[in-house]
Structure 1
Amino acid sequence: MFKRLFWVSVGAVLGVIAVSKAEAYVRANTPDKARQFLLGPDQDHVMQRSLRGLFEEFNATRIAREEQLNAQYADRLS
């Protein structure tokens, strides 16, 4: 269990490092118009926007699935 947790943590940390290095490379080596196309007009908060979008999408999917399951089991009990 601890081995798995360790390796998942290592993978998450390496993923964050890789994304930050890639973003820094894109910022340093691309023209402004191309950078705005890739990162959007608000280039300073790309990670926060991505995380917020993932969280909102997860919650919307979770709520839809809960409603689906509640309807399914409510029909069984009726």
Structure 2
Amino acid sequence: MKRVFWVAVGVTIGVVAVAKAQAYVKANTPDKARQFLLGPDQNNVMQRTLAGLIEEFNTARKAREAELNRQYSGIAE
């Protein structure tokens, strides 16, 4: 239970830090630099980042699952 708590605290701190960093970048950089760093759709950076992370996780998970299925398919038969 302690681990879950500390992981949740770490995730929360990470989300807050990223949000603060993005707000700082938006407030203190010229528009061209912001577009280079955050992309043209600057309002949905967190959503795009989260969607990308989820997609990358699922791709890695499916690849590992396929690898394990190939590795152990002979044993199960």
Q: Which residue in the other structure is 1:46 paired with?
A: 45
Separation of aligned partners in 1, 2:23 and 2:70: 47
Deviation digits for residues 7-44 of structure 1 (CA, Å, limit 9, x no counterpart): 22222111111111110000000001100000011101
Distance 1:75 1:4 in 2: 37
Paired with 1:10 and 1:69, the residues of 2 have a C-alpha distance of 33
Query: 1:10 maps to which residue?
Result: 9
Question: What percent of counterpart residues are identical?
Answer: 68
Matches within 5 A, 1:1-78: 1=1, 3-77=2-76
Which runs of 5 or more structure 2 residues have no equivalent in the other structure?
A: none
Structure 1 spans left out of the alignment, 5+ residues: none
In 1: Cα distance, 2:9 partner to 2:61 partner: 27
Give the drift of 1:77: 4.9
State TM-score, norm by structure 2: 0.88
What is the rounded CA distance, in whole Å, between the counterparts of 2:18 and 2:76 in structure 1?
A: 49
The number of aligned residues is 77
TM-score normalised by structure 1 residue count: 0.87
